[in-house]
Amino acid sequence: MKSLLVMLGPTGVGKTEWSIHIAQKLGCPILSADSRQIYRGMTIGTAAPTEEQLQCVEHFFVGSLPPETYFSASEYEQQALQLLQQLHEKHDTVILCGGSMMYIDALCRGIDDIPTIDESLRNDIQNLYRREGLDPIRQQLKILDPVFYNQVDLKNPKRVIHALEVCLMAGVPYSSLRTNSAKERPFRIVKIGFTRDREELYERINQRVDKMVADGLEEEARSFYSKRHLNSLNTVGYKEWFDFFDGKYSREAAIDKIKQHSRNYARKQLTWFKKDQEIRWINLSDKNIDVEHVVLSVLSER
């Protein structure tokens, strides 16, 4: 049976380097599972693979969409499945690499059949959000789906807006459409999780942010300032600069907040991934581990 080798972990842990190394060993392509690397021009802020890395191994879902494009986990699932069917004709194994929890779950487990949102409805809600903020959207969701309202992170605009979109489009509560049942896949799924000791991971994140700034992250964010309302740019590494440009705090504070929010996101990713009992974990802080050997050995198991 064909295999999907999932290489996941928190931001800054070292997934990209190891996925490229293993892909070169196997002679296979990589599918990105990063909900922001898929957008063009956001290369520094999303730590997208470099041009040199992209030359080493064929990548998909990297820099393929303009930031204006709405792209959901459901659309990712559909497109990735179609692509995998083609790639598995040539390769016994394809690598999925990333840290976007919803994208990984969408491809590995499948997500519920949610109706496609009408563009005019989406625009209406986005305009409401820009005019009045998240509170009126939360209040509508509370009325239409009190169950999901009590479950969702009410500070997460993407989740709250999506839930209201579905309620209005389907005419039923979003929670009633969520079955959380895994779908069968026509390929074997092997999951490898990378982690590091917390202090080391956090230091790597801090150093990576410093490198992003040195590489021109501020200028990259400024080029997107006029598009800051887009969902794709409601992202750590950009929204902090937008606040700096708006005079909400200093440049130094913006950089510190990017580091803090990146560390918070890494912690959130680990909490999510730790619930998945199928993941084989490798602690990259342990210098005695032969990572290549472990990954290839797990992949060879039947």
How does DSSP classify residue 31?
A: E
Residue 38: closest CA among 14, 15, 69, 78: 69
Question: Could you report the per-residue pLDDT of 224-264, keeping only the tens digit for each?
Answer: 999 998 889 989 999 999 999 999 999 999 999 999 999 99
In CATH terms, the fold of domain 119-177 is: Histone, subunit A (1.10.20)
| Residue 194 φ then ψ, to 5° | -105, 135
β-pairing, 30-33 with 59-60? parallel
Q: Which residues of the chain are in CATH 3.40.50.300 domains?
A: 3-111+181-300
Q: Which residue has the tokens 């730590």?
A: 47
**Residue 178 CB contacts under 8 Å (≥ 6 apart), including other chains:** 112, 148
List, for residues 29-49, the tens digit of each pLDDT value: 999 999 999 999 999 999 999
Could you tell me the pTM of the whole model? 0.83
Q: How far apart are CA 66 and CA 91, in angstroms?
A: 29
Domain(s) of CATH 1.10.20.140: residues in the chain: 119-177
The angle, 0 to 180 degrees and rounded to 10, between the axes of the packed helices 119-132 and 157-170 is 140
Sheet holding 93-98, edge to edge: 59-60, 30-33, 93-98, 3-8, 188-195, 279-283
Maximum Cα–Cα distance for the chain, whole Å? 57
Query: What tokens does 195 get?
Result: 């982690």
Backbone angles phi, psi at 95, to 5 degrees: -100, 135
205 alpha carbon, distance to own chain's centre: 16
**pLDDT tens sequence for the chain (302 residues):** 899 999 999 999 999 999 999 999 999 999 999 999 999 999 999 999 999 999 999 999 999 999 999 888 889 999 999 999 999 999 999 999 999 998 999 999 987 777 778 888 988 999 999 999 999 999 999 999 999 999 899 988 988 999 999 999 888 898 888 766 788 999 999 999 999 999 999 999 999 999 999 999 999 999 999 999 888 998 999 999 999 999 999 999 999 999 999 999 999 999 999 999 999 999 999 999 999 999 999 999 87
Sign, CA dihedral 285-289-291-296, equals: negative
At residue 216, the 3 state secondary structure works out as coil
Q: Which amino acid is at 99?
A: G
Name the superfamily (CATH) of residues 3-111+181-300: P-loop containing nucleotide triphosphate hydrolases (3.40.50.300)
Fill in the amino acid letter for 105.
Answer: D
Residue 179: per-residue pLDDT: 66
From the list 237, 208, 234, 239, the residue with the least C-alpha distance to 12 is 208
281-298 core/surface letters (b: 16 or more CB in 10 A; e: else): ebebeeeeeebeeebeee
